[in-house]
Amino acid sequence: MTDEQCSKTPYRWRWAVLAVVLAAEVMDLLDATVIAIAGPSIRADLDGAGTAFLQWLSAGYTLAFAVGLVSGGRLGDIFGRRRMFLAGAAGFALMSLLCAVAPGPVTLVVCRILQGLAGAVLIPQGLGLIRAAFPPEQVGAAFGAFGPVMGLSAVCGPILAGVLVDADLFGTGWRMIFLINLPVGVAALIGAWLVLPRGGGTDPRPRLDLAGTAVLSGSLLLLVFPLVQGRELGWPWWSWAMVALAVPVFLLFQVYQRRLHRTGRSPLIEPSLLAKQRFTAGLLVGLIFFAGLMGLTLILSVYLQLGLGFSPLRAGLTQSPWAFGTAAGAVAGHVLSARFGGRRLLVGGTAVLAAGVVTLLATLTVVDGPVSSVALLPALLVIGVGMGCSMAPYFDIVLACVDEHEVGSASGTLTAAQQVGGAIGVAALGTAFFTWAGPRFDDGLRHVLWLELGLLALAAALSFLLPQRARPAAEETAVPGPEVASSAAGAAG
């Protein structure tokens, strides 16, 4: 029975299916949020781990997740979503175990990359599984559970990381942040095996574009690798050559996608999407927005622990207002979007976020000596509210620019762009931070905050190319999937 056939009648175990999908989401999101807090402790414990290691620990996972997302959903169409969910959950749990026992920084980064690929197979299946199990009138209620669960996970992730690292349970130290995934992963696997609807994929089955995936991965690696490693290696000539080569390789990817489309085969990204000016602008807005936010998340954690000497637990608690603000801003954003229009809210939320960044800059300037957690609270809360308001209308307003038959491809492309932006942001802003870092890293953080303001201004300017309001059907055709919730909450964490 295919997913489409299953969706015609309510599935008996549909609420159990939702619980299983949410368990997988929580596992993925916790893994994304805890690493920022635990990163400095991991670097201090592993021999040979430099500053670039912290960037790879986050960017490697995010980049692999982004590239895998493009084809992860298609694997579910080909082989069946239940089968791919089980494979992704098993791979994620296994990689979590290997991360926990990694003897050195290189092994840990490789396992993190493989973990990102497993997550990219696991997460996209949730949307199809829920739509297959629930009747149309209950799909909205099912997806409504994602917001509170993701918000709670985003708040608890950094705090949980701090507790686990500081507690040093059984002498495991930071390794417990990966071991904690095992019971959740095993529970998700058992639940998935018992309750997920069986399906053999769509009919006719699309073909997986392996060549396109390889070319896209190559272009992104050409960009991210020199951004991360260039500073530590003294910016050799080949690092600049790689950055320059990334552009023509990506253009080659576009040409290849058009060729597949003309010959009737299945491209990774519909070429018609990139021909739409408004969609391309929305793509760039998401990429720039998340580059700044996910880069700042890592840098702030490093600053709190290495610059101010906070413990992992204190660093996690200090950053929790950001997550609380994001949850509050998202709720307010859904209400305000209907009244003021998605574009105004997107620009207004970005302005609030920029005000939070300015407040953080002012705090660093005004406070004489090390900054306290209380002094940072207002700025981080405002940043969170601005982020929540900005992201609330983002998908609906951008997807209003595309045709109905392009919505699926457009949703996956937007989500992947967010992850790619996050990887680039971690690489670029991390390099800027460590380049300008002073004795307490204050100078490095100030430079990054100025860069953050520039990125927000650029994102706001591009937002004016988007339509004022989403089309009425957008809410029905483009319900944000699990991967969207993870992206937004992950940046908050």
Q: Check whether 162 has a pLDDT greater than 90.
A: no
pTM above 0.75, yes or no: yes
Specify the amino acid at residue 228.
V
pLDDT tens, position by position, 357-391: 999 999 988 887 788 999 999 999 999 999 888 88
Cβ pair 223, 246 in contact under 8 A: yes
The predicted pLDDT at position 285 comes to: 92
- DSSP for residue 171: G
Cβ pair 396, 480 in contact under 8 A: no
Asked whether the domain spanning 269-493 has the same topology as the one spanning 1-205, the reply is yes
pLDDT tens, position by position, 5-40: 444 566 778 888 888 888 888 888 788 778 888 888
For domain 1-205, say whether CATH 1.20.20.10 is its number: no
**Contacts within 8 Å (CB) and 24+ apart, 171-176:** 172/100, 173/41, 173/45, 174/38, 174/41, 174/42, 174/45, 175/100, 175/101, 176/100
Burial status of residue 366 (CB atoms within 10 A of its CB: 0-12, 13-18, 19 or more): exposed
Identify the residue whose tokens are 């460590």. 434
Report domain 269-493's class: mainly alpha
The predicted pLDDT at position 95 comes to: 94
Q: Check whether 471 has a pLDDT greater than 70.
A: no
Specify the amino acid at residue 419.
Q
Give the start-to-end residue ranges of the domains of the chain.
Answer: 1-205, 209-265, 269-493
> Residue 480: pLDDT band by 50, 70, 90 thresholds?
very low
Nearest to 100 by CA among 24, 38, 36, 56: 38
> Residue 479: pLDDT band by 50, 70, 90 thresholds?
very low
> Residue 461: pLDDT band by 50, 70, 90 thresholds?
very high
